[in-house]
Amino acid sequence: MNAVTETGAKRLLSGNEAVAHAVWEAGAALASAYPGTPSTEILEVLGGYPDLEAQWGVNEKVALEVAIGASLAGARSFCAMKHVGLNVAADALMSQTLAGVNGGLVIAVADDVGLSSSQNEQDSRYWGRFAHLPVLEPADAQEAHAFTLAAFVLSEEYSCPVLLRLTTRVCHVKTLVTVGPRRPAPERHFIRESRRWVMLPGNARAMIPAQFKREAALAEFAETTDLTQVWEGSDTSLGVITSGPAALSAREALPDVPLLKLGLGYPLPLERIRAFAAGVEKVLVIEETEPLIEQELRAAGLSVHGKDVLPRFGELSVTVLRAGVRTLRGEPAPTPPAETQTAVAAAAQVFPRPPTMCPGCPHLSPFYCLSRLRNSILISGDIGCYTLGAGQPWDAMDTCTCMGASLTLANGLAVGKSGPDANKAVVAVIGDSTFLHMGMQGLLNLVYNRANVTVLLLDNRAVGMTGGQEHPGTGLDLYGKDAPRVDFAALVKALGVKEERLHTVDPYQLPELFKLIRSEIQVDDVSVILTNQPCVLTHRHKARPALKVEEDQCTGCGNCLHVGCPAIQVVRRDQRTTASGAVKDLAFVRIDSAFCTGCGACLGPCGAKCIVPVTAEA
């Protein structure tokens, strides 16, 4: 993105782009992050700005600690992550909230309201209350820009990290944003003050009163800040208290109702809220997702409605809000027109389109192999593209909890399995970036505890699920420059895996891969099978000649379909009665050569050997 040199320039920006511009504009020297939807693009955009160092961290805790270090040195710094990432970074956050900061430190945490691409729906506003930190909640891209600038000032004024709570809708929706040139940050230098920066129990204990004093000062600030606004309305039978993008939905759903929009979601301006509530008959708290404000207000003695009429999960759309208000007012739900009912019924009959892996994905073969061994193994999965192995046609995953947990859960499964599972082998599946993020400790734990687990370390040289970002195993940094690349084989051996139990294999060589997995699950030891083909959506992938089906030779066995490649299509189905009288389903297939990458994963399962390369003449 081009740097802006004039004040008042307008740009069409997403919330992520607006935050990035504001970080640069505020004079920040360092920005760090770990990729995670919906926050990923913030750091990617920052990588294009001058006069600022942008770094991918190995995980969110590392990224935050790097940003803290820059702040202690006196520089303004920034860190971004998705909601589950703040769980990983919480150790550093909860200590630094006591010590505070030197240069301004802003932490953007993006909540995936509605679970578009996450394993849970988490309300990060609670971290403000838990860590006694201010939480700013922009409603759109313009506010994301303005609130980021305000967050740096607030951080330095109150000497604390500031949380910028985004949601998927703020991150990804674009609007016109007024931006400006980069401003020099206030000059600061490292403060040599070990009683403050060295978190010994005695030092930390002495900081607690200052933390509460700061929180009280922030509460006073909340009463007067223009980050919070009152949107007037003529219908005083109801008043709405809300924050973030839910405020825009509330205004559209209830245009005539007074609305108090909280820009500072924590701490709350209780006196300001009391004054607002006194001017309306009923108060409805609209918040995504948890009833944090609602509970705070009830604890303060205010009578409010909220989750008694509104859902506690998912985005609060205009339709949802209007339905909730009708319930609150005791009004019957309107009957939709007949044509609307017909359209809804028709939409419900649309054939589902479950997510799947890409054509030629190097993860297809490992999950095909695991699916063939399904009855004899327990499979512990992890977070990444390969999580899709839980779906069809593979059904090759039994657990998936959080990043890095495949290895540690596998440890427990190996010890705790009993009954019909007692003799099953345990397999853990993890990707390269996830292994570096939080999996190394799990492998060390497996080795240390002599667990009987086979690990599939699927190295596709990318953070694939979030768009192919770089990491220490790709050989490039955020800027695309050469960087030291982790040698996974050496790392695995350094963590204690025996050399004879470490195997590197091309996942496209499916028969070899299958034999290797089947062999290793029979060994009572920690085994690691390392695959070595890159993600097909990155520049590292080299496509091979596309394949096709000699359709007149296809027997309809359908074995190739079990690989799960979306380039393979069923063109017709048939049934045949065998000599024994059994009815056999046949699926005759075609390969869409425009999608085929020529990986060859389908060649091994093909019973008729009718899959051949597309010739130049064809």
Q: Which residues are annotated as a binding site?
A: 554, 557, 560, 565, 596, 599, 602, 606
DSSP letters along 105-138, please?
EEEEEEE-TT-SS-SS---THHHHHHHT--EE--
Tokens of 226: 């223009």
State in Å, rounded, how far the first CA of the chain is from the last one.
Answer: 43
Instruction: Indicate the DSSP class of residue 50.
Output: S
CB count in 10 Å sphere of residue 322: 17
The Cα 460–Cα 471 span in angstroms is: 11
The span from the CA of 333 to the CA of 473, in Å, is 56
* Other Cβ atoms closer than 10 A to 9: 14
Question: Strands, DSSP E only, in 252-395?
Answer: 259-262, 264-266, 283-286, 377-380
Task: Give the C-alpha separation, 379 to 392, whole Å.
Answer: 15
Element (H, E) at 163: strand 162-167
Residue at 473: amino acid letter: G
CA dihedral angle for residue 36, residue 41, residue 45, residue 46, rounded to 10 degrees: -30
Angle (CA) 451-454-458 rounded to 5° is 135
Q: Which secondary structure element, helix H or strand E, spans residue 277, and what is its range? A: helix 270-278
Measured CA to CA, the distance from residue 315 to residue 337 in angstroms comes to 25
Cα–Cα distance, 276 to 282 (Å, whole number):
11
Residue 120 structure tokens = 């849970």
Which amino acid makes up residue 196? R
CB within 8 A of 51, min separation 6: which ones? Answer: 24, 182
DSSP secondary structure code for residue 561 in this structure = G
Nearest to 54 by CA among 44, 39, 64, 62: 44
Q: List C-alpha distances in Å: 212 to 131, 132, 205.
A: 11, 8, 12
Alpha helices in 125-200 (DSSP H): 125-131, 141-158, 168-172, 194-197
Residue 397: phi and psi, rounded to 5, are -155, 130
Torsion sign over Cα 36, 40, 43, 47? positive
**Tokens 């004093």, residue?**
213
Per DSSP (E only), the strands in 180-274 are 229-231, 239-243, 259-262, 264-266
Q: Which amino acid is at 594?
A: A
3-state secondary structure 461-511: CCEHHHCCECCCCCCECCCCCECCCCCHHHHHHHCCCCHHHEEEECCCCHH
Which residues make up each annotated binding site for [4Fe-4S] cluster?
554, 557, 560, 565, 596, 599, 602, 606
What gap in Å lies between CA 97 and CA 358, rounded to an integer?
Answer: 43
Are 222 and 261 contacting, i.e. CB atoms less than 8 angstroms apart?
A: no
